Amino acid sequence: MATRYPTTSISGMHRAMDRLVNEAFSPSHFGTIWPAQTSHKGQVLAPIDAYATDDEVVILAAIPGVSAEDIEINIEQ
Q: Are 48 and 59 in contact (CB under 8 A)?
A: yes
5 band by pLDDT with thresholds 50, 70 and 90 = low
* Residue 30 domain flag: yes
In the chain, the number of structural domains is: 1
The tens digit of pLDDT for each residue in 14-38 reads 888 888 777 666 655 455 554 555 5
pLDDT at res. 11: 78
Q: Contact at 8 Å (CB) between 44 and 66?
A: no
In a domain, 55, yes or no: yes
55 is in which domain, residue-wise? Answer: 6-70
- Residue 76 maps to a domain: no
Rounded mean pLDDT of 33-55? 68
Within 13 Å, how many C-alpha atoms sit on residue 74's CB side?
A: 5
Looking at residue 58, its amino acid is V
DSSP-H helix ranges across 1-77 = 6-25
